[in-house]
Amino acid sequence: MRWFSTIFHKNRRLLNYILAAVFLLLVTVINDPVRISLAKISASVFYSPFFRLKSHIQELQNVAEENRFLRRQLTETSLQLVRLNEARRENQRLRELLGFEPPENFRLVPVKIVSLYQQLYPVAAVVNKGSNDGIRANLAVVNRYGLAGKIVDVMTNYATVQLLTDPSNAVSGRVGDSRQIGIVRFSPQRGLYMDNLPADAQVKKGDLIISSGLGGIYPPGLAIAQVDSVYANAGEILKRVNLRPTVNFFEIDELYILMED
């Protein structure tokens, strides 16, 4: 039987051709009942595998289409989730802002940041309102945590905010408890600090530094920073006061321009 099996495998294609030819010959010479039976056998032997293959291909096509539909659904759901999360965060920001009272005779004009310019730190931001909205230079800019900077350049529909992290931007600040006044500055090496504060000034870690109102740009009473550390070396006439800003300049998104009523 082994030799028969070997011959069959070697000549399988030829045997298939012979078998098909025999079926075709029988179908042409025999009577109708037998021809019908042979036709059914032929369909079962030759057509059925192709029919099953076609069905399998159709099933794969249906699965591929279903996968494309599910991927679209997943993408749409992911985008919707992102929008909902952003709406939730905005809602939280607005809730926190409800507790922020602008200075007397001022109102808040909300703006969105279009672009942010930064070196080691963010130093400027372009916002989406300009002269068409009544924005002008030297208006104070805040967020819900405190003072962020001031308007320095105004276009028709945009304006540039100079942030407190710009080394050229200095603010007159006041120690919340002792009411003593110094200059709040920023340097990349030192961060935010308070300058021109006498060595005998009453200031300690945790004190709130607010805008003094001197200079005519920033209204008084806006939160600027908290005292992070205080150094007073013997023989020096000024204290070294390092600050931690109340505004996180790496996470600012919405700002508010203070406009006079």
Domain membership of residue 135 (yes or no) is: yes
Query: Which pTM value belongs to this model?
Result: 0.64
Poorest-pLDDT segment among 46-50, 58-62, 75-79, 123-127: 46-50
Domain membership of residue 111 (yes or no) is: yes
Report pLDDT for 252.
86
Domain membership of residue 28 (yes or no) is: no
Task: Quote the domain boundaries for residue 142.
Answer: 106-260
Q: State the Rg of the chain over Cα.
A: 40
For residue 74, give both structure tokens.
Answer: 């997943």
Report pLDDT for 251.
86
Report pLDDT for 41.
58
Phi/psi of residue 133, nearest 5 degrees: -100, 10
For residue 23, give both structure tokens.
Answer: 């079926």
- Rounded distance, CA 209 to CA 185, Å? 12
Report pLDDT for 47.
52
Domain membership of residue 92 (yes or no) is: no
For residue 42, give both structure tokens.
Answer: 């032929």
Q: Flag whether pLDDT at 97 surpasses 50.
A: yes
pLDDT tens-digit series, residues 129-150: 999 999 999 999 998 888 999 9
Helix, strand, or coil here: 114? strand
Closest CA to 248 of 127, 159, 165: 165
Report pLDDT for 79.
63
Closest CA to 210 of 176, 233, 182: 176
Report pLDDT for 93.
58
Strand partners, 230: 241
Q: Flag whether pLDDT at 98 surpasses 50.
A: no
Q: How many helices (H) and strands (E) does the chain have?
A: 4, 12
Higher pLDDT, 99 or 212: 212
The DSSP line for 176-213 is TTT--EEEEEEETTTEEEEES-BTT----TTPEEEE--
pLDDT tens-digit series, residues 200-251: 888 999 999 999 999 889 999 899 999 999 987 767 788 889 999 999 999 8
Report pLDDT for 29.
56
Q: Flag whether pLDDT at 4 surpasses 80.
A: no
* Domain count within the chain: 1
Strand partners, 240: 231
pLDDT tens-digit series, residues 163-210: 999 999 999 999 988 888 999 999 988 899 999 888 888 899 999 999
Helix then strand then coil, in percent of the chain rounded to 5, is 35, 30, 30
Domain membership of residue 21 (yes or no) is: no
Domain membership of residue 30 (yes or no) is: no
Q: What is the CATH number of the domain that holds 193?
A: 2.40.10.340
pLDDT tens-digit series, residues 22-45: 655 655 655 556 555 655 655 555
Phi/psi of residue 188, nearest 5 degrees: -60, -30
Q: Flag whether pLDDT at 89 surpasses 60.
A: yes
Domain membership of residue 81 (yes or no) is: no
Report pLDDT for 132.
95
Provide the CB-side half-sphere exposure for 168 (13 A, CA).
Answer: 6
